Amino acid sequence: MKTLQSLEKTVHALIAEGKGILAADESAGTCDKRFDAYGIPKTPEMRRKWRQLLFSTSGIQNGLSGVILYDETIKQKADDGTPFPKLLQGRGIIPGIKVDGGTVPWEGSLSEKITNGLDGLLGRLAEYHTLGARFAKWRAVITIGEGLPTEGCIRENAIRLAMYARACQVADIVPILEPEVLLDGTHTLARSKEVLTQTLEIVFEEVQKYGAHLEGLLLKSSMALPGKESGLTASPEEVATATLDAFTASVPASVPGIVFLSGGQTPEEATIRLNTIVQMAKAQKAPWVTTFSYSRALQAPVLEYWKGQEANASGAQAIFEKRVKESSLASKGEFK
């Protein structure tokens, strides 16, 4: 790989102090589902208006290092004709791209899922690089339940993540590996930590087997949390301890950074827990930088205010600016 230095430069820009990533890479279908809740028309034009509102919010460049886009979005333009990747670059924000093809039921166990998208990946990466993308995301989902996850499903997802990581690095694109351990379920915090540890151990085993350059990638992870339907609660300190214990057991020290998904936590929960994780990671002198790569925890209150109405746009942007600022503070362990 001739591009190691270039990959590392992108990685370090993405995890710069006080910065994190906005995941705005919802597929058209997922974005439409979010729009449905407010009766917003499900059209490419409304999805474009929504992304324009987010990307043109003032001040966000102080807290965002990168934005993950979707295939439709990376090809869309702002009202003045500026392509979205260019608009972001102009603000010092690195454009990224979701390249997985979504999940399908896994034949090995029908209640688990596997992520598709390796076919034609190198060609798509070359195209996205031309469009300005310098990092990418691939999401696998790991389900906790009765007898789940199976090692077979974790392994198959890990192999695909590793192959994706290699392909990205060859294309001078930083891969973000996202094996999301789902919040859904009745499991305990201890079980979540156990599954997170097992998943990440297998992922990094395969990533190393396939020869991906660890210093040139980022991990996107869930926090260890009790299942959403468990009726259990955990303090930010308990969440941070369990999460960092899982990482210490499974994530090589040469991985530069771990970014968190919000995964159905409220914006407040995601912010407070990140703040505590960062404080604890700093106190433990953890080898990796920890920050955010949220979608819902950054966007949900903004969409709720906007509702697709032009008259609400500036108010929605004020909420987004505040969400980015709070997340940025949390990524430094300074959120109060």
For ligand 13P, the binding residues (CB under 6 A) are 23, 139, 178, 261-263, 294-297
Radius of gyration of the chain (CA): 19
Task: Report the C-alpha gap between 17 and 29 in whole angstroms.
Answer: 34
Please report how close the Cβ of residue 141 comes to ligand 13P at its closest, in angstroms.
9
Provide the token pair at 160: 């695909």
Please report how close the Cβ of residue 225 comes to ligand 13P at its closest, in angstroms.
12
Choose between 22 and 234: whose C-beta lies nearer to ligand 13P. 22
Choose between 85 and 146: whose C-beta lies nearer to ligand 13P. 85
Please report how close the Cβ of residue 330 comes to ligand 13P at its closest, in angstroms.
14
Task: Report the C-alpha gap between 321 and 316 in whole angstroms.
Answer: 9
Please report how close the Cβ of residue 178 comes to ligand 13P at its closest, in angstroms.
6
Task: Report the C-alpha gap between 251 and 287 in whole angstroms.
Answer: 10
Options 220, 282, 285, 322, the catalytic residue: 220
Please report how close the Cβ of residue 1 comes to ligand 13P at its closest, in angstroms.
26
Whether cis (ω within 30° of 0) applies to the bond prior to 149 is: yes
- What secondary structure letter does DSSP report for 50? H
Please report how close the Cβ of residue 19 comes to ligand 13P at its closest, in angstroms.
16
- By CB atoms closer than 10 A (0-12, 13-18, 19+), residue 302 is buried
**Catalytic residue flag (residue 220):** yes
| Cα-to-chain-centroid distance, residue 49 | 22
Choose between 45 and 178: whose C-beta lies nearer to ligand 13P. 178
Nearest to 291 by CA among 242, 215, 191, 221: 221
**DSSP per residue, 175-236:** EEEEEEE---SS--HHHHHHHHHHHHHHHHHHHHHTT--GGG-EEEEPPP---TTS-----H
Nearest to 37 by CA among 310, 300, 324, 320: 300
Choose between 124 and 146: whose C-beta lies nearer to ligand 13P. 124
Choose between 118 and 170: whose C-beta lies nearer to ligand 13P. 118
Choose between 251 and 274: whose C-beta lies nearer to ligand 13P. 274
Task: Report the C-alpha gap between 151 and 105 in whole angstroms.
Answer: 15
Which residues are catalytic, by number? Answer: 220
